[in-house]
Structure 1
Amino acid sequence: MSDFDAIILGGGAAGLMCAAIAGQRGRRVLLLEKAEKPGKKILISGGGRCNFTNIGAGPENYLSANPHFAKSALARYTARDFLDLVEKHGIAWHEKTLGQLFCNGSARQIVEMLLAECDAAVDSGGDVSVRCEQEVRAVSRGEDGTFTVTTQDSAFTAPALVIATGGPSIPKMGASDFAYRIARQFGLKIVEPRPALVPLTLGGDEVLFRELSGVATETVTTAGKGSFREASLFTHRGLSGPAILQASSYWQAGEPISVTFLPDRPAGWLLEAKRETPRATLRGLLREAMPQRLADVLTEQLGVHGDLGNAPDKALRAAEEKLANWRFHPNGTEGYAKAEVTAGGISTAELSSRTMKAKRVPGLYAIGEAVDVTGWLGGYNFQWAWASGVAAGEAL
């Protein structure tokens, strides 16, 4: 007889949610976490207040080789469902911009809530055992279909195994490619992983923009099919801030990104300014609308000096067009060390969108960031963790 009904590898958001749901269905669940405590990424998220979901989360807010894959889980466990759980536990919350929901207090409340939900399994005849500081040494599957997980302490068996160890982003938190190694061991395909929600680096002629380190301004930033209106931040290595992080998930190496400065200005605004205030300067107009240091650098790059009244219309039109579509050419990203999440991962073609179960390996599941489903910045990745965790938990 197996020790447990299911073994979950990884005590993060998806793993804890999956364990709680399965346990409350009467299952005997073992959750193995290599860190000294569960939910470490939850604890640091949202500046320690955990941006635990986004009220507008839908399939269109996710990247995947199969954009339809996330629809089922997200429809069956919504942001409102998770918010109901938060409120059931008396956790005060607030909404920030763009539908982002945060704890009023500490992210620790979300971890404690999930652990309390795991403990509640006993009321349904189930049991969730959370064991930390467990380093998985080996995973195998016997001829009878039973999985054996060997750690430094012991060997555990179960007919079901859930991969919930995330991706390699933020390695200082213990993140690694472990999920992909286990998936490959069982023959599951991997969509090439890459850092996402990550700052971009600049080189060559664009190094001068690094001198603006610390300067932020609102932009519309576009890469590939992704376009986002939020703050962009110049750093000592290149570009960051919410708009850049969002666009980075859509950026492909070698491609430019487009930044629209002054996104509220209508076409022809510079020519109109020339007519109405011919003594005004481009530098002066830009300084009124953005940080001074940025205004000065952009003015120098645009080469429009002196009064607008003396500037040719052609030069003003060109300046306006460049401000509306400033092309930066990133030479890379700051990598997994600074990436909030990992794009790519275990191929959704290998999994059931309803249960997260591997199609070709009975009893094997993959959930959360380990899977090739990547959310936007702003609570979307947590919502995928909850939804995919529930989907697998209900199937175990």
Structure 2
Amino acid sequence: MTASVSSYDVLVIGAGAAGLMCAIEAGKRGRRVAVLDHAERAGKKILISGGGRCNFTNLHCRAENFLSENPHFAKSALARYTPRDFLSLVEKHGIAYHEKKLGQLFCDHSAQQIVDLLLHECAEANVTLHLRTQVNQVRHSGGFELDTITPQGPVTFHAPALVIATGGLSIPRMGATGFGYDVARQFGLRVIEPRPALVPLVLGEAGQRDWCQLSGLSAEVIASTSTPGAQRARFQEKMLLTHRGLSGPAVLQISSYWRPGASLTLDLAPRANITAPLLAQPQRDISKARAALREHLPQRLADRLITLAPPSSFSNRALEAWEEHLHHYRFTPTGTEGYEKAEVTAGGVDTAELSAKTMESRIPGLYFIGEVVDVTGHLGGFNFQWAWASGAAAGRAV
């Protein structure tokens, strides 16, 4: 069957947060834009985000909230499209929202409202959306040509500008693929090895035996890691024990920085002086140590620590060492729960290959935005803000 030909000014592959934002900004400038996606509906990952309410941005967004081999790369795009800019769109569409904590903004009702907002803005900007469209080949010759299979049959799309907004490898059940990395490599662009991020960590057999019987228990901790050659990080939030290891916001945050073989350090009682009452008593024993722990930790966690890591003795020096141990308790995860449970993918197209202002690669007319780029946000709306900001940067340049 002979393919029909469709020509546009801009082709965007990926109908997620970044791709739709890019299309909106380009369309508002009078560009003829087509968005292509293999899924049957737009914004599938938006719909499941934030427990179905979409944590669509964070009021306190800064470049420091992102992990990248170039920690300065995100500054330009983030400065030119801010949380307030997206909030103006949310308010324009009458979407009720609330701040949950730490600047995290959620819809009061449904993530579908954010998808509807984007689709409405696309329609106003005359953006054409092609869903259930499989891109089989990308060629570059006097512009970009995409050989595709659409519900109507084979179509070759042509445009002078191509934007890759296909996301990462996380949540494969939602249709995630490595397509964007493959395109980058096809054009000789460096890709930093992708890995699961914002993902639960798995403990080995001994760790599971010692800790996972407490599955469902949570406590506030400070999680930190210092993998050689990686950025240092620490987060104070809740930890959750699971049937396989560790999760909860503190662990998800630190997982983006953790590397296989590295240890994870938890301060199990932030700001607490656990041994102060013991040191003040002439009579000290294990029951008093347990009682001191229970003052600061959930009872089951305190009792498990007394079993696994009791004081070596009750001298002042031993109690001081025990206190230090509880504030620097080490785990060595054996791995992560993988892309199936990862909220995002770290790594991606090397920022050294891209313009920080426009997101254009060193291949003229080829752009990369959103999660496919080596910019990974912390938990709490930062990855959405990167999608809006990088999408807007490219949309204003194509």
Q: Give the TM-score taking structure 2 as reference length.
A: 0.93
Cα deviation digits, residues 239-285 of structure 1 (max 9, x gap): 0000000000111111101100110214xx41444315957612122
The equivalent position to 2:148 in structure 1, one of 124, 141, 150, is 150
Instruction: Write the mapping of 1:85-96 to structure 2, written as runs, cut at 5 A.
Output: 85-96=89-100
**Equivalent AA in structure 2 for residue 261 of structure 1:** L
Q: Is the 8 A contact 1:4 1:157 kept in 2?
A: yes
Is 1:22 aligned with 2:26?
A: yes
The equivalent position to 1:214 in structure 2, one of 192, 208, 216, is 216
Is 1:128 aligned with 2:132?
A: no
Cα deviation digits, residues 202-223 of structure 1 (max 9, x gap): 1143221111111100000002
Q: Is the 8 A contact 1:2 1:159 kept in 2?
A: no
Q: Is the 8 A contact 1:168 1:177 kept in 2?
A: yes
Please report how far the alpha carbon of residue 288 of structure 1 lies from its aligned counterpart in structure 2 after TM superposition. Answer: 3.0
Is 1:245 aligned with 2:252?
A: yes
Cα deviation digits, residues 171-224 of structure 1 (max 9, x gap): 011101111011111111101110000111111432211111111000000023
**Equivalent AA in structure 1 for residue 304 of structure 2:** V
Match of 2:78, SS state, is: helix
Q: Name the residue aligned to 2:339.
A: 336
Cα distance in 2 for partners of 1:303, 1:51 equals 41
Match of 2:127, SS state, is: strand
Cα distance in 2 for partners of 1:145, 1:23 equals 19
Is 1:301 aligned with 2:308?
A: yes
Q: Name the residue aligned to 2:330.
A: 327
Cα distance in 2 for partners of 1:36, 1:17 equals 19
Cα distance in 1 for partners of 2:276, 2:22 equals 59
The equivalent position to 2:295 in structure 1, one of 288, 297, 300, is 288
Cα distance in 2 for partners of 1:378, 1:390 equals 20
**Equivalent AA in structure 2 for residue 168 of structure 1:** L
**Equivalent AA in structure 1 for residue 316 of structure 2:** D
Q: Name the residue aligned to 2:167.
A: 166
Instruction: Write the mapping of 1:1-396 to structure 2, written as runs, cut at 5 A.
Output: 3-121=7-125, 127-142=126-141, 144-152=142-150, 153=153, 154-207=155-208, 208-224=210-226, 225-266=232-273, 269-275=274-280, 278=283, 281-304=288-311, 311-359=314-362, 361-396=363-398
Cα deviation digits, residues 288-331 of structure 1 (max 9, x gap): 322222111111122249xxxx9222221121011100011111
Cα distance in 1 for partners of 2:161, 2:199 equals 34
**Equivalent AA in structure 1 for residue 163 of structure 2:** V
Cα distance in 1 for partners of 2:48, 2:95 equals 17
For these two proteins, the number of residue pairs brought into alignment is 383
Please report how far the alpha carbon of residue 2 of structure 1 lies from its aligned counterpart in structure 2 after TM superposition. Answer: 6.5
Match of 2:212, SS state, is: helix
Q: Is the 8 A contact 1:271 1:313 kept in 2?
A: no
Cα distance in 2 for partners of 1:282, 1:81 equals 53
Residues 200-209 or 215-224, more deviating: 200-209
Cα distance in 1 for partners of 2:196, 2:364 equals 30
Cα distance in 1 for partners of 2:282, 2:24 equals 65
Residues 312-321 or 156-165, more deviating: 312-321
Cα distance in 2 for partners of 1:138, 1:20 equals 25
Q: Give the TM-score taking structure 1 as reference length.
A: 0.93
- Give aligned-pair identity as a percent: 57
Q: Name the residue aligned to 2:229.
A: none
Cα deviation digits, residues 127-168 of structure 1 (max 9, x gap): 2011111111111111x2333342343111111110000000
Q: Is the 8 A contact 1:219 1:260 kept in 2?
A: yes
Residues 269-278 or 206-215, more deviating: 269-278
Instruction: Give the RMSD, CA atoms, in angstroms.
Output: 1.6
